[in-house]
A and B are shown apart, each in its own frame.
Chain A
Amino acid sequence: MSKSRLLVLLMLSLSLAFAAGCGDDEDESSDSGAETQNVSLEEDCTPDQLDTFEADTLTIATDDPAFPPYFEDNDPTNGEGFESAVAYAVAAELGFEEDQVEWVVEPFNRSYAPGPKEYDFDVNQISITQKRAEAVDFSSPYYEAKQAVVALKDSSAADAASLAEVADAEIGVQIGTTSLDAVEANIQPETDAQVFDTSNDVVSALKNGQVEAVIVDVPTAFFLTAVQVPEAEIVGQFAGPEGDEFGALLEKDSSLTPCVSAAIDSLRESGELAEIEEEWLSAAQDAPILE
Chain B
Amino acid sequence: MAERGSGRPDPGVAADAQWARDRRAEREAARRHRARRGQAVAALSTVLVLGTLTALIVTSPGWDDVQEAFFNPDDFVDIFPDVLSAFWLDIRIFMVVEVVVLVLGLMVAIARMAKAPALFPVRILAVVYTDVFRGVPTILLIFLVGFGIPALDLSGLPTEPIILGGIALALSYGAYVAEVYRAGLRSIHPGQREAALSVGLTEGQALRHVVLPQAVRRVGPPLLNDFIALQKDVALISILGVAGEAFRVAQIEAQTNFNYTPLLAAALLYLCITIPLARVLDWWDSPERAR
Contact = CB atoms under 8 A, between A and B. Distances in A.
Nearest to B50: A12
Interface of B is mostly: helix
Contact of A210 (B68, B73, B159, B244): B159
A2 interface: yes
Interface in B130-171: 147, 150-151, 153, 159, 161
A19 B259 contact: no
B239 interface: yes
Nearest to A196: B241
Interface stretch (A89-97, A197-205, A222-230, A273-281): A197-205
A176 B66 contact: no
A175 B43 contact: no
B150 A208 contact: yes
Contacts of A12: 46-47, 50
A205 B147 contact: yes
A135 B259 contact: yes
Size range of the chain A interface in the assembly: 35 or more
B147 A136 contact: no
B161 A24 contact: no
A27 B65 CA distance: 10
A195 B255 CA distance: 12
Contact of B239 (A27, A180, A201): A201
A9 B242 CA distance: 39
B99 interface: no
A56 B85 CA distance: 52
Nearest to B243: A192
Interface residues of B, number: 40
B241 to A, nearest CB: 3
Contacts of B153: 208-209
A210 B150 contact: yes
Interface string A14-51: 00100111011001000000000000000000000000
Interface stretch (B56-64, B175-183, B266-274): B56-64
Interface stretch (A74-82, A108-116, A255-263): A108-116
A134 B258 contact: yes
A193 interface: yes
B62 A20 contact: no
Contacts of B255: 108-109, 175-176
Contacts of A196: 239-241
Interface string B61-80: 01111111111010000000
A192 B244 contact: yes
Interface of A: 2, 4-5, 8-9, 12, 16, 19-21, 23-24, 27, 108-109, 112-115, 129, 131-132, 134-136, 172, 175-176, 180-181, 191-197, 201, 204-205, 207-211, 252
